[in-house]
């Protein structure tokens, strides 16, 4: 079952516009790379393509920090004895 179901129309040049809900879910913006993977059953999986220099662990940590900032939580400095 789909969480989001959207439909896009292909232009004469073979281009589509990703619907806003999909762009938000994938966290993509202008200049972002999007990957299309065709599965054996004919389904296409669309995902945000990781930048060549992007570390998944760091990206997850930065997403966590962004959530804290949006929620109004503050990050405390690392104590001197742990730094």
pLDDT in tens, the chain (83 residues): 788 999 999 999 999 999 999 999 999 998 889 999 999 999 999 999 877 666 778 878 888 888 887 887 776 778 888 86
Tell me the Cα Rg of the chain.
Answer: 18
pTM here is 0.57
* Amino acid 52: pLDDT: 67
Helix (H) or strand (E) holding 48: strand 44-48
d(CA 48, CA 36): 9
What residues contact residue 8 under an 8 Å CB cut-off, 6+ apart? 16, 17, 18, 19
Residue whose structure tokens are 């896009």: 8
* Amino acid 66: pLDDT: 83
* Amino acid 38: pLDDT: 95
* Amino acid 31: pLDDT: 87
């Amino acid at each position: 079952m789909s969480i989001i179901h959207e439909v896009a129309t292909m232009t004469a040049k073979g281009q589509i516009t990703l619907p806003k809900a999909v762009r938000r879910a994938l966290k993509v913006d202008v200049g972002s790379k999007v990957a299309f993977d065709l599965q054996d059953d004919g389904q296409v999986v669309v995902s945000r393509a990781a930048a060549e220099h992007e570390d998944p662990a760091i990206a997850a940590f930065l997403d966590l920090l962004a959530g804290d900032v949006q929620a109004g939580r503050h990050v405390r400095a690392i104590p001197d004895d742990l730094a």
